[in-house]
Amino acid sequence: MFTPHTPKDVEVMLKTIGIEKVEDLFTEIPEKYRFPELKLPLGLTEMEAAEELESIANANGSTKTLLNFIGAGAYDHYVPAVVDMLLRRGEFYTAYTPYQPEISQGTLQAIFEYQSLICELTGMDVANASHYDGATAAAEAVILAYHHFKGKRTKFLLSRAVNPQYREVVRTYMRGNQAVSILGDDPETGIDASMDKLIAQIDAETGLVMVQYPDFFGRVIDYKPLIEAAHNAGALVAVAVNPTALGILTPPGEIGADIVFGEGQPLGIPLSFGGPYLGIFAVTNDLLRKISGRLVGETVDNAGRLAYVLTLTAREQHIRREKASSNICTNQGLMALASTIYLSLLGKKGFEAVSNLCYQKAHYAAAQISAIQGYKQVFSETPFFHEFVIRSPQPAAHLLEDLRAYDILGGYDLSKDYPELDNCLLIAVTEKIAKEDIDLLHDALIEVTHD
């Protein structure tokens, strides 16, 4: 299978080492614990394993078998065949971190192109080679701001309309730092699109204000007043983005964001039950030295040829050790490559088309559903992208369960994270959803509401 040793090979090797049997290699292991009897099943052949895994996979419903309107941070987009074909080249996926630039130019150039594409998309100056996902990128934004102000600003404001999982991860990351307070996302501050209550909390202690664009509810909010207020107080602003929306919407870099980050999964990465995804992270030139994670830069080799290398490595954990601001030592290499191929292939026109299709279909869906008696679009006065909130006449959990009889995953139940949004559903629509699918959801909602 995966070990090529013949009995004769083993014999030759033992003789060279100067021992009699393989067990002799392990005499330094405390005898009491040596060679435990593991309670595991017997090994399967490839054919058997393939069958078993298929039967496990078949025990799931998926977006291939169910009509899916769940988004809430992960989106079901079409991924062209080219993306996975290229990703599966052994030269990419069986390589490691490009520590040896002479034989890693493929990985390095791909990351360089990834950084460039993310800069263009977000309107920012510099992007790193990626973080683990959108949520951990949010935590890295807070860490960056904390170090940027050398620990002197200790208040970090997160809008309540930032993805609840992002906020949870920020809190976990910062739990060891007693000096820091994470504020702004309490029910009092609320989810009003005006952002007035959040802006009112910005002061001289504030290191960072974090908002999302489109926000967790899909709303497209004008953050210029908030950014101005934050900058006046000397604070940084981080904007979480859905990259798909930036195909048609003004990027945060153009309205003064200091940090733009987000979940890159919509860029050609399968849903895959939540991972592996891609943490996008980009900053202005002013924060270039503060960015954690890998960066690839252009240089030349000893013959003057163009080459790419990992650069500014002195910031990283393997050199700075406990003085490093972050412990990250890899990036999401293969996922960054997937998004690079996806964006190159779709290009200016294709990406704009996907973005616009999402926008159009979501607006049709919102109009259809809010026309049903008893259903109302919440925040209907605020522009939205491809996700919107519907208040239904019954608890969202019941509604979603009823829709399952129609093989529909009707959306995300918001009441769990937002008690003030009882009976509310978050519905996402991507380019994969046809008009008939929306009509099907509409009709199913009418039927389940009769009861």
Tell me whether residue 200 or residue 442 sits nearer to another protein (CB atom): 442
DSSP 393-413: SS-HHHHHHHHHTTTEE--EE
What gap in Å lies between CA 91 and CA 130, rounded to an integer? Answer: 20
In total, the chain counts a number of residues equal to 451
- Specify whether the CB–CB gap between 240 and 163 falls below 8 A: yes
Tell me whether residue 78 or residue 181 sits nearer to another protein (CB atom): 78
Smallest distance from the beta carbon of 100 to another protein, in angstroms?
6
Smallest distance from the beta carbon of 427 to another protein, in angstroms?
12
Smallest distance from the beta carbon of 446 to another protein, in angstroms?
19
What gap in Å lies between CA 162 and CA 165, rounded to an integer? Answer: 9
Tell me whether residue 115 or residue 159 sits nearer to another protein (CB atom): 115
| CB-facing half-sphere around the CA of 288: CA atoms within 13 A | 12
What gap in Å lies between CA 449 and CA 22, rounded to an integer? Answer: 69
Tell me whether residue 200 or residue 407 sits nearer to another protein (CB atom): 407
Alpha helices (runs of H) in 130-188, residue ranges in sequence order: 134-148, 164-173
What gap in Å lies between CA 445 and CA 195, rounded to an integer? Answer: 33
Q: Give the residue among 110, 96, 127 at the shortest CA–CA distance from 308.
A: 110
Tell me whether residue 207 or residue 251 sits nearer to another protein (CB atom): 251
Smallest distance from the beta carbon of 188 to another protein, in angstroms?
22
Tell me whether residue 89 or residue 200 sits nearer to another protein (CB atom): 89
Smallest distance from the beta carbon of 84 to another protein, in angstroms?
8
Smallest distance from the beta carbon of 70 to another protein, in angstroms?
5
3-state class (DSSP) for residue 431: coil
Smallest distance from the beta carbon of 202 to another protein, in angstroms?
23
Helix H, strand E, coil C: the string for 174-197 is HHHCCCCEEECCCCCCCCCCCCHH
3-state class (DSSP) for residue 416: helix
- Specify whether the CB–CB gap between 227 and 255 falls below 8 A: yes
Question: Identity (one letter) of the amino acid at 352?
Answer: E
| Alpha carbon 426 to chain centroid, angstroms | 18
- Specify whether the CB–CB gap between 354 and 77 falls below 8 A: yes
Tell me whether residue 374 or residue 441 sits nearer to another protein (CB atom): 441
Smallest distance from the beta carbon of 451 to another protein, in angstroms?
20
3-state class (DSSP) for residue 284: coil
Tell me whether residue 111 or residue 202 sits nearer to another protein (CB atom): 111
Tell me whether residue 82 or residue 200 sits nearer to another protein (CB atom): 82
Smallest distance from the beta carbon of 422 to another protein, in angstroms?
18
- Specify whether the CB–CB gap between 328 and 293 falls below 8 A: yes
